[in-house]
Amino acid sequence: MAGDAVTCAWPGEQDVVLMSWILSALREPDVGIVLEQAWHSLRPGGLLVLHDFMLDDPGPGPALAALWFLQYLAYQSDSASFSAADLRARLRRTDFLTTTTEDLIPGITKVVLARKAAPR
């Protein structure tokens, strides 16, 4: 289905929404919009899978993930960089229940899993 993840309507009642390397390509203000879109798209209990470049929770690294974010910043001054902890906090504000975070490509990408909470 063609469309812009920020402005187009998403299909509803989905069991799973996978976003791989999407959030890091967005402008900072659009990250929250896309997480809201995912929440509305999922059925209650549905799974959100976020795979992306992520900084370490406690510090400035890892270097390769930070360099990817820097590259995006060079092309788009209002791009977003984030750690898994940042995403988990955003997800809680969007009424997701975060479940786990795992390294996918060590030093570069992680996966954050979250479930849609009960309807608002």
Number of domains in the chain: 1
The CATH number for 34's domain is: 3.40.50.150
Q: Is 8 helix (H, G, I), strand (E, B) or coil?
A: coil
Tell me which residue of 115, 107, 114 sits closest to 54, measured CA to CA: 107
> 45 lies in a domain?
yes
Across 24-33, 58-67, 86-95, 108-117, least confident range: 58-67
Whether 24 maps to a domain, the answer reads yes
Taking Cα atoms as reference points, which of 51, 31, 36, 58 lies closest to residue 113? 51
Residue 91: in which H helix or E strand, if any?
Answer: helix 84-93
Please indicate, yes or no, if residue 73 is contained in any of the structural domains: yes
Give 13-61 pLDDT, tens digit per residue. 999 999 999 999 899 899 999 999 999 999 999 999 999 999 888 777 7
Q: Is residue 90 part of a domain?
A: yes
Range of the domain at 74: 16-116
Mean pLDDT of the chain: 89
